[in-house]
Amino acid sequence: MASSTPLATASTGSGSVRYERGETVEVFFRFAKEPKNGGYFPCDSMAQGMLHPCIVKTDGWIQAVVEQTFDAGATRDSHWPDLATSSSSSSKKGTGKKGSGGDGNLVKVKYLAPFWYNRQGQLYNDGAKRKDSVAPQLVRKLEVPGCLMVNKGPPLQQAANGGQAPPPASAAAAAASSSSLNLTRRRGPKVSIFCVRWGGKRKVDAVTDGIGGWGQVGSNPSDNFIHTLFADYPYENFGTDYEIWTAFVQSTHELKDIHPELIRKQMTGQQLAGCYFLWPIGFQDGHEFCGYVNNGDLFHCMRRFEATGVVTRFPHHSHLYQLLASKAWTASWCLVPGLNTPLTTKLSRSMIVNLGYKGAAEVALQSLQDLNAARNLLFPIGQNQLKRETIVKGVSKLGYSWESMDVNHWSDVGTMAQGLEELVQQPGNLSEYVHVQEWVDIDVEMRHFVVLPQDHLSGIKIEKIVYTCYESKSEQHFSSFNRFDRETCLQKKFHNDEKALAEAEKKAYDLITRLYYALRGECSEMPPVIRFDVLAHRSRAGCANVMIGEITELGACFLGWPDGPKTVFNAMLRTAAYPSNHAGTWGGGNNVGRDGLLSSTVNKTFNSYGGGSAQAQGQNRQANGGAQKPTPVPVKNGTNTNYGTSNGSNGSHYDPPARGRRRGSSDATGAGPGTRGASNTTTNKRKQMAGTGNEKKVVTS
């Protein structure tokens, strides 16, 4: 992705810049590089840093005074710090010798910001001015209002009269001057990003450890995740051609004190993007879990920003994010042929209160029986693999919850009633309904990462597949989460039946393609990054069935995918600065919607669930509904294309402690919780973390 060259930055050769001692310059500040210095950011007033929500510019150009004369021509750019790999924007160490990569190659400055605060409202060094040694790439000449700046090389030598360049003698001279010097006015940055993140005294625990943890990057509301995203990837993509504004909040209530209409005026970028690193839950404030906010208030905040033109880029447009986080799609799609969604009914909270837990459970079970009859009789096309005589077991779960929490297994009316009581009686629970789903037998859950889908000429490109499963249940809850590679999956889960696993992968690919079309109805712009968790079951030798378990929003756990952060973060930043094309896709797509474009994809996916060819829809190709010979699914892993292999842990095993009461919920299917993030977070663990301020988000769909 091309990035523009910053105006008047230091460079070697004839265009080198000299910064005199006492000269006012601009320095590009990056907050994600600040943790080692205490996590302080510049503020214009004490109130801005002390009061919440704290709203500040955390990345961008700020003014400073040069402490020691610096001549870029006297140093070599080969010795300047590598900003893509350095741990900070500045350097506190060095030999002080020019050409050695030490302080002699850095610009010594004193920032002019009157105050520096951290997110806890603590003032830096009693209000003293901050000094720094900054890489020359992050320093530029101060713009004089109304003055033309040179796009390549040094700024114009300003005339003595007020710092303005003398006017040319004639229009012709002006044209010649402008042409020879390539003059332009300094514009705003390519992209302005506004972030809403946790800013309480206690930080969100990254939960990096264990097979059920989030890995080195951490959970998405944590500093680990946010700083990994913003430390280097924006600079690698845009250079200094971006800015980031941040609102630090410490409760749901503070979301109401963010005023998008005013903040929008501060954002000077050509493209405007919003990122919301918080967990929406269906509970009131008053809990001790960092990073959790009431879902209604978060979505209201997102919608207000979107109304001003700030496009949500993390995780998704508010209406799409709400659909995924609430799990509402499961009930809407469960009778749609080809979407292979477990039967789901929404059990109203008021019915539970009025009928009691057992009475409400009886109603929910009867609803599932009616849905099952409808699927068998009214929606039979391609539903052969889903047919069953009656529903005898399933799961109950809440929306707006994370990491397999609040999913209770039931096997009859009595156990369902017990699970309903446990889910509903949690303090502060505002959930308006409980999802009740049928049970789905599975052998493995295949997590498919799809990044920047372009069009459907060649189908959806799968960037990575990770194979996982839940091995056991404890007290009606799911536990013992495993992650493994394809070879281990084949051996342990599919009994070395290569044909059956290949069929599962082929059907999963076709299912994901159909689901993407369904999502186009929910959001006209295709989600740039999304994870589909597909449930696979070896039904007999050489055959397999699949169902969708979870559609997971941007920010999901990478599940041990080494290239995941780089691939996903760069894709997200691309969407922030370079909007989708006229077709709502991320490249190509010029013919999307024209006659014949989708014919090959429609034929392929329609056949895979039993509808026959699109040209001869009434004819059954085979007795089992048009199943095709399994073919390998192309999966991109690094630079090679292979057959769906995964670099996940090889059969590693993790048994979490038993669950207790918990806040949050879980996956989208009855087969077992497909996790948005990691897995196996427990209430007991969260209660232990509450004492130290290390809380972990718990949601799946």
Instruction: Give the pLDDT confidence score for residue 623 in this predicted structure.
Output: 37
Residue ending a domain, among 111, 139, 158, is: 158
Give the whole-angstrom CA distance, residue 584 versus residue 694: 39
Tell whether 229 is covered by a domain.
yes
Q: How much is the pLDDT for 564? A: 93
Give the residue among 612, 547, 609 at the shortest CA–CA distance from 338.
609
Which amino acid, residue 560?
Answer: G
Say yes or no: 314 and 220 in one domain. Answer: yes
pLDDT confidence of residue 143: 73
Instruction: Give the C-alpha distances (Å, rounded to integers) separating 209 from 66, 410, 472, 608, 679.
Output: 44, 31, 21, 40, 12
Torsion from C-alpha of 409, 415, 420, 425, nearest 10 degrees: -110
| Residue 560 domain flag | yes
Q: How far apart are the first and last CA of the chain?
A: 33
**Do 141 and 120 fall into the same domain?**
yes
* Residue 241, pLDDT above cutoff 80: yes
In a domain, 107, yes or no: yes
| Phi, psi (rounded to 5 degrees) for 78 | -70, -15
Range of the domain at 572: 444-642
Least confident of 335-339, 483-487, 691-695: 691-695
581 Cβ contact list (under 8 Å, min separation 6): 587, 589, 590
Tens-digit pLDDT profile for residues 355-402? 999 999 999 999 999 999 999 998 877 667 778 889 999 999 999 987
pLDDT tens, position by position, 603-636: 444 444 444 433 333 343 333 344 444 444 444 4
| pLDDT tens column, 542-588 | 999 999 999 999 998 898 899 999 999 999 999 998 877 766 776 64
151 pLDDT band, cuts 50/70/90, is: very low
Q: What is the pLDDT of residue 430?
A: 93
- Cβ proximity of 297 and 305 under 8 Å: no
Q: What is the pLDDT of residue 185?
A: 54
Residue 482 located in a structural domain: yes
The per-residue pLDDT for range 56-91, each reduced to its tens digit, is 999 999 999 999 999 877 665 545 555 554 444 554
Q: Identify the pLDDT of residue 470.
A: 73
Task: Give dist(CA 280, CA 481) in Å, integer.
Answer: 24
Indicate the average pLDDT of the chain: 76
- 296 found inside a domain: yes
Q: What is the DSSP string of 138-176?
A: GEEEPPPTT--EESSSSPPPPPTTTTPPPPPSSHHHHHH
Mean local confidence (pLDDT), 677-697: 37
Which is more confident, 603 or 591?
603
What digits encode the pLDDT tens for the residues 471-509? 655 555 555 568 889 999 999 999 999 999 999 999 999
Same domain, 469 and 606: yes
Q: Supply 566's token pair.
A: 């780089």
* Residue 483 · residue 558 · CB < 8 Å: no
Region 275-282 average pLDDT: 95
> Hey, what are 106's tokens?
């850095």
CATH code for the domain of 287? 3.40.50
Which pLDDT belongs to residue 76? 54
Between β-strands 462-474 and 444-451, what pairing exists: parallel, antiparallel or unpaired?
antiparallel
Q: Pairing relation of β-strands 292-294 and 279-281?
A: parallel
Q: Is the pLDDT of residue 691 over 50?
A: no
pLDDT, one tens digit per residue, over 27-54 is 999 999 886 666 899 999 999 999 999 9
Check if the beta carbon of residue 315 is closer than 8 Å to that of residue 555: yes
Same domain? For 491 and 576 the reply is: yes
For residues 45 and 47, what is the distance between their CA atoms, to the nearest angstrom? 5
With a cut of 80, say whether residue 593 has pLDDT above it.
no
Asked whether residue 167 carries a pLDDT value surpassing 90, the answer given is: no
Give, in order, the Cα–Cα distances in Å from 184 to each of 97, 148, 256, 293.
36, 6, 40, 45
Number of domains in the chain: 4
Whether residue 419 is contained in a domain is answered as: yes
Whether 87 and 25 share a structural domain: yes
Same-domain pairing of 153 and 267: no
Strands 292-294 and 529-540, by their bridges, are unpaired
Q: Which of 326, 350, 380 is the last residue of a domain?
A: 326
Give domain status of residue 574, yes or no. yes
Q: What is the pLDDT of residues 398-433, one digit of tens each?
A: 999 876 678 999 999 999 999 999 999 999 999 999
Are 538 and 632 part of one and the same domain? yes
* Same domain flag for 456 and 573: yes
Same domain, 314 and 215: yes
**Residue 651 included in any domain:** no
The b/e string for 306-332 (b: 16+ C-beta within 10 A; e otherwise) is: bebebbbbbbbbbebbbbbbbbbbbbe
State the average pLDDT over residues 192-219: 82
> Which bin fits 538, alpha (ψ -120 to 50), beta or left (φ > 0)?
beta
Q: Are residues 472 and 576 in the same domain?
A: yes
Q: Are residues 378 and 491 in the same domain?
A: no
597, exposed or middle or buried, with CB in 10 Å at 0-12, 13-18, 19+?
middle
> Do 143 and 204 belong to one domain?
no
Six-digit token pair at 466?
A: 């990770």
The domain boundary, picked from 137, 158, 179, lies at 158
Task: Tell me: pLDDT of 265 over 50.
Answer: yes
Owner of token pair 């779960």: 397
